[in-house]
A = this chain, B = another copy of it.
Amino acid sequence: MKISLNTKILDKNEQAAKQNREFLAGRKLDCLNLISSPGSGKTTILARTVADLKGKLRIGVIEGDIKTDHDSQRIRAAGAAAIQIETEGACHLSAQQVGWALNQLPTADLDIVFVENVGNLVCPSAFDLGESGRVVVLSIPEGDDKPAKYPGTFAQCDVVLINKIDLLVHLAFNLDRVLTDIHTLNPQAKVLQISAATGQGMQLWYDWLLNRRKKA
């Protein structure tokens, strides 16, 4: 019973994801799904990216939170269109919710849509949103055991942003272990060391983003 129902929920999500993928392809829109623990710095990364890439990349953002619209306010203050989805308890965004939000955004005037998923290192990775790429954010204070403990999430992404790298000096964090574990789980994933707070390494991330645009 459990399996058949979960299958039905996932089937419905998969149909909506397919529609989103077609919508994005029709408009040549890139779409990145950001997944991480609560507090890894997703919103700070996006707000800084919006401000720094003004005039270079036209960005829209879909914000997923259980409660509050603080994050979409922060993105709008940085200068991008943002749509907030409050999941009211649900632990991840669904493709249906993202489809609704895509229709609210001025997609004709955008190059890329970032979807900031609910802060949760587990559930969001099981739900295809129809995105064209997936970003996992891991912050230094979370500890160096996270790729090993959450292998499914790290195995299914295009890039891992190791954020808050400026805090490395204050904490016991084995960066070599993390790089090795990510490479074992996902040899194709690009891994970038950044600090959205200080700006360190952010250019690597911008180059990666702009390079995707050229290839598309």
Contact = CB atoms under 8 A, between A and B. Distances in A.
A143 B151 CA distance: 25
A39 B91 contact: no
A49 interface: no
The 4 A-B pairs at the shortest CB distance, nearest first, are namely A39-B142, A141-B141, A91-B122, A5-B5
Nearest to A65: B149
A38 B125 CA distance: 15
A9 interface: yes
A149 B1 CA distance: 32
Copies in the complex: 2
Interface string A65-87: 11110100000000000000000
Interface residues of A, number: 36
Contacts of A149: 38, 65-68, 70, 119
Contacts of A141: 39, 139, 141-142, 164, 167
A8 interface: yes
Interface in A37-55: 37-39
B91 A145 contact: no
A209 interface: no
B70 A145 contact: yes
Contacts of A66: 122, 149-152
Contact of A1 (B8, B37, B145): B8
Given A2-B5, A8-B1, A122-B66, A38 B89 contact: no
Contacts of A2: 5, 9
Interface in A84-136: 89, 91, 118-123, 126
